[in-house]
Structure 1
Amino acid sequence: MALMVVLTACGRGRADPEPTPPPAATHGYTLTVDGRERHYRAYTPAGATAGRPVVVFLHGGGGNGELFERVSHMNTVADEGGFVVVYPDGSGRLGDRLLTWNAGDCCAYAKDRNIDDVAFVRALIDDVTTRFGTGEVFVTGFSNGAMMTYRLGCELADRIAGIAVVSGAMNLDTCTPSRPLPVLVMHGTADTAVPYDGGPSSSEFPTAGTWTNRSVRYAVDFWTEHNGCGPVPAETRDGEVTTRTYTCAEPVTVHTIDGGGHGWPGGEKARANAVEEAPPRPDASRVVWDFFAASG
């Protein structure tokens, strides 16, 4: 209900005009975590943000938050869904270029320096919640950012409401989530950077070091067991996309893109020299948000 103010000087009462909702905007913010300056961008749709859900989007290795804000088109989905999108930056030796996440056995600078990216995301959630008065926090990521998303699901299940991983592997020796989590997995069968069936990455990332990826099946088996899922999923097919949905304490959904390469589906090519085109379908940003919205 609007607050009514009586203006006696005018001899009659009137309602104060409603405040103009803030416009949609992206702003940059800085945190200091473990003595290291860390950065993130936050996109807020038009209107008040109090109580809105948050999607934390972790960029791929070699990218940064600004790049994946552009190529993912997630802001367009945020406008429609009314949620805040946060684009953190990983770390690297070249300022805001060639940034990575310490996702276990990958990748590059973040792994080599043992950067505590779990602590960074924990502090980020605190900062975003205080700054915007937001609601539930979900995490999604691509490639190395997807690997980091798995790690956050293992170590920050008490702080996040669900995870969605796109073209990433669960390359962790241990995973002990404090509770079941909604999990969405999206991966192309022709991905050579992070192969669907596991194995070493291609030479697309020559400075990222070497590691062996675990298969999509490995991650799905872990989360379906952890979430207490039934053994047989419901399966649907739409063109090249097969969707398997498990009945669990918290949902596990797997989108397999037949012939899909290493890219954010429905988005743009992250780098001009990227070896593989992003699959045109499905629209990953919409699929991810629809999954989070249904799970929240």
Structure 2
Amino acid sequence: MNVGGQTRTFIEHVPANFSPRTKKPAVIAFHGRGETDGRFAAYSQLDGADAVVLYAQGLNGKGGKPSWEATPYIGAWAHDYEFATDLVRWLAKSPCVDATRIGMTGKSDGAGFAASAACRINGVAAVATISAAFYQEHSHCTASGRPLPVLNMHGTADPVIPYDGQPARGLYSTDDWIQLWRQRDQCTGQATDRKLAPDVVRTTWSSCAHGNTVVNYRIIGGGHTWAGATKPSGPGDTTHSLNAAQTVMAFFAAHPLPRTNP
């Protein structure tokens, strides 16, 4: 795909039962800094979903490592938002894709970019972020940004992107970022907490505008990893009390694009 005068690539996965006569949900997935689309595909287990999955490849930024806009490592020259927009439009026009069920996900820098892109790109139904890096200065998720359902997972012992943020690097804490998203989604009422396992606590805000939901999974002792991964996905402990791929896809299935919220 040519974007901004540069060739951009992605891996497309289709499910085993794929038929051109059946519309499938779709997911656009963004890898972490220093990773590749192939490595992300290998550990994320999203290939097991009954969906079309596009694993996007980032461009090399500072230090020669692939990353995304919405981080300090790559600037607007990358045209990542245009790339993401083109992927959404390409999927929405496909006769094999349900245009009301296009979600975005990612890990680390890719997760931060997925959230930032979802805030400004029409046609994205929901976003899910894992071990995300939310940079205050580079995020395009303003308080008046586009509201939509969001699911977040983060380990409390993440050695790369601390759960409680890092002011010196301009990183939001998880709680501060969730609070901003709750404001954007106009969530009211009290949160609902549920301990799913000794190391997993889920907090849900469901009284939000347009039927949106904000969900945060606090993974106690979890590292900079993809929950449920059976292959290396980053430093620190990986919980197997939760499967990120299955949880993300269930969240996307429950939150199609409302007719009144493009």
Shared topology, TM-score over 0.5? Answer: yes
Deviation at 1:269, TM superposition (A): 4.3
Q: 1:195 aligns with which of 162, 182, 207?
A: 162
AA paired with 1:233?
Answer: A
AA paired with 1:279?
Answer: T
Matched with 1:256 is 218
Q: Distance in 2 between matches of 1:37 and 1:288?
A: 29
Work out the percentage of aligned pairs sharing the same amino acid: 30
1:41 partnered with 2:7: no
Where do 1:213-228 residues align within 5 Å? 213-228=171-186
Q: Distance in 2 between matches of 1:228 and 1:130?
A: 31
AA paired with 1:118?
Answer: Y
Q: Distance in 1 between matches of 2:165 and 2:145?
A: 26
1:293 partnered with 2:253: yes
Matched with 1:69 is 41
- Larger relative contact order, structure 1 or 2 (CA cutoff 8 Å, min sep 6): 2
1:100 partnered with 2:71: no
Matched with 2:103 is 138
- Any stretches of 5+ residues in structure 1 without a counterpart? 1-30, 201-209
Deviation at 1:141, TM superposition (A): 0.5
Question: Are 1:261 and 1:277, in contact at CA under 8 Å, matched by a contact in 2?
Answer: yes
Deviation at 1:154, TM superposition (A): 2.0
Matched with 2:119 is 154
Q: Distance in 1 between matches of 2:14 and 2:253?
A: 17
Where do 1:222-237 residues align within 5 Å? 222-237=180-195
Deviation at 1:225, TM superposition (A): 1.1
Q: 2:80 aligns with which of 100, 117, 129?
A: 117
TM normalised by structure 1 equals 0.76
Question: Are 2:153 and 2:217, in contact at CA under 8 Å, matched by a contact in 1?
Answer: yes
Alignment length (residue pairs)? 244
Question: Are 1:242 and 1:256, in contact at CA under 8 Å, matched by a contact in 2?
Answer: yes
AA paired with 1:119?
Answer: E
TM normalised by structure 2 equals 0.86
Question: Are 2:69 and 2:80, in contact at CA under 8 Å, matched by a contact in 1?
Answer: yes
Q: Distance in 2 between matches of 1:168 and 1:98?
A: 17
Matched with 1:241 is 200
Q: Considering only CA atoms, is the larger Rg found in Structure 1 or Structure 2? A: 1
Root-mean-square deviation (CA), in Å? 2.2
Matched with 1:163 is 127
**Alpha-carbon displacement from aligned partner over 1:170-196 (angstroms, at most 9, x marks no partner):** 324453465420000110100010000
Q: Distance in 2 between matches of 1:47 and 1:66?
A: 21
**Alpha-carbon displacement from aligned partner over 1:34-84 (angstroms, at most 9, x marks no partner):** 0000001111112315421101111111111111111111111x1xxx211
Question: Are 2:33 and 2:65, in contact at CA under 8 Å, matched by a contact in 1?
Answer: yes
Deviation at 1:280, TM superposition (A): 2.5
Question: Are 2:3 and 2:83, in contact at CA under 8 Å, matched by a contact in 1?
Answer: yes
